[in-house]
Amino acid sequence: KIWNVYIMTNKPNGILYIGVTDSLGEVKEQTKSLSAVFTAKYNCDKLVYFEEFEDGMEAAKREKQMKKWKRDWKINLVGDFNPKWVDISLNWKLNFNKLR
């Protein structure tokens, strides 16, 4: 099983939401659910960053670490990984190639 720490946003340099999941392909649907109050309230519907982990505990540890970071560090992390801030989930293969 692969675990992912991910960042979602509403627009480039906008609101950032950091989460962890074992189902990255379903993250956008999960964030639309009623239980996802923060992402729904701030319309964080664009997946702009992710990291993969084989260990769920390591992924959770990384998520907590990233949540403590200063906003500028998070912005730079996304910018280095995804300079155009494209929504990676729209077309996994196409968008991943556009990141670089």
Per-residue pLDDT of 24-39, as tens digits, reads 877 766 666 545 677 6
Instruction: Quote the CA–CA distance of 65 and 61 in Å, as a whole number.
Output: 6
Contact yes or no for 18/41 (Cβ under 8 A): no
Percentage above 90 pLDDT, the chain: 61
Res. 96: pLDDT tops 90: no
Smallest Cα–Cα separation from 28: which of 45, 13, 43? Answer: 45
Tens-place pLDDT, residues 7-63? 999 999 999 999 999 988 777 666 665 456 776 777 888 999 999 999 999 999 999
Structure tokens at 63: 């998520």
Burial zone of 95 (CB within 10 Å; 0-12 exposed, 13-18 middle, 19+ buried): middle
Smallest Cα–Cα separation from 27: which of 10, 44, 41? Answer: 44
Q: What is the pLDDT of residue 93?
A: 53
